[in-house]
Amino acid sequence: MMNMSVKGLNEAMQKAKGDVGKVRKAAKLAMSRVQTSTLTEASRLIRGRYNINQTDLLNKASGKPRIQAVGRVTDDLTATISFLAGGISLVYFGAVEYRRTSAGMTKRGRKGVTAIKRGKVGVRVQIERGKTTQLRQFLAGVKFGKGSATGTHVGVFRRLGKERLPIAESAVISPASMIGKPEILKPLTQFVQTTFTTRFNHEMKRLGVTQ
């Protein structure tokens, strides 16, 4: 979870000379814009390093958000964005299984199966852009949800022993861990500071507090 709050507001209020209410309004409007734009910027920075598309990063297959703005800006001028702690399935990082069958080699991904001439048996996946990993695992479809809200999810699985069963789905880094990486968190923090300053000055002028 990422909490963003305003600092130095008292100084701005002292300079406002009676327009304290407008200063708080300007700050709240600016922080609201920051909350929305930071969600987009966080997604952009994460996808710049990790091989996952925006739709899969922001939402699970069930529709539950992985990253989302939480509520509105509070009275103490705090805005919150949540990042799920659960790992993301390897299939969302472009995992492809190469399998040898009686008819020849096949390549299977989220979009289906195609016949190929050659390939190394197993799963190939690129979690971080430019870095491909080969795994002795396989793709399989599993059902999720209950009642009418059900669907099928294709995931990458591994066997937990020498027998056919049991198996477990392989997942990797979570959105919460992604956002904590210095190469993502540092520029995102700078973005928040710059965006708030720009929007706050804009709102102060629009409300007539400053020229």
Tens of pLDDT, residue by residue, the chain (211 residues): 788 877 766 666 666 665 788 888 999 999 999 999 999 999 999 999 999 999 999 998 778 899 999 989 988 889 999 999 989 999 999 999 999 988 889 999 988 899 998 889 999 999 999 999 999 999 988 777 676 667 777 889 999 998 988 999 898 899 999 999 999 999 999 999 999 999 999 999 999 888 7
Instruction: Give the separation between CA 169 and CA 177, rounded to whole angstroms.
Output: 19
The DSSP code for 163 is S
pTM equals 0.84
117 lies in which domain range? 89-172
66 and 121 inside one domain: no
Residue 211 lies in a domain: no
**Same-domain check for residues 29 and 71:** yes
Domain match, 99 and 160 both: yes
Are 78 and 70 in contact, with CB atoms under 8 Å apart?
no
The Cα 182–Cα 191 span in angstroms is 14
27, part of any domain? yes
Q: Are residues 112 and 188 in the same domain?
A: no
Q: How far is CA 23 from CA 38, 165, 201, in A?
A: 22, 63, 10
Q: Are residues 115 and 165 in the same domain?
A: yes
Strands 138-146 and 133-135, bridge-based pairing: unpaired
Per the structure, the count of domains in the chain is 2
- Scanning the chain, the segments in alpha helix (DSSP H) are 9-16, 20-49, 54-58, 175-179, 182-206
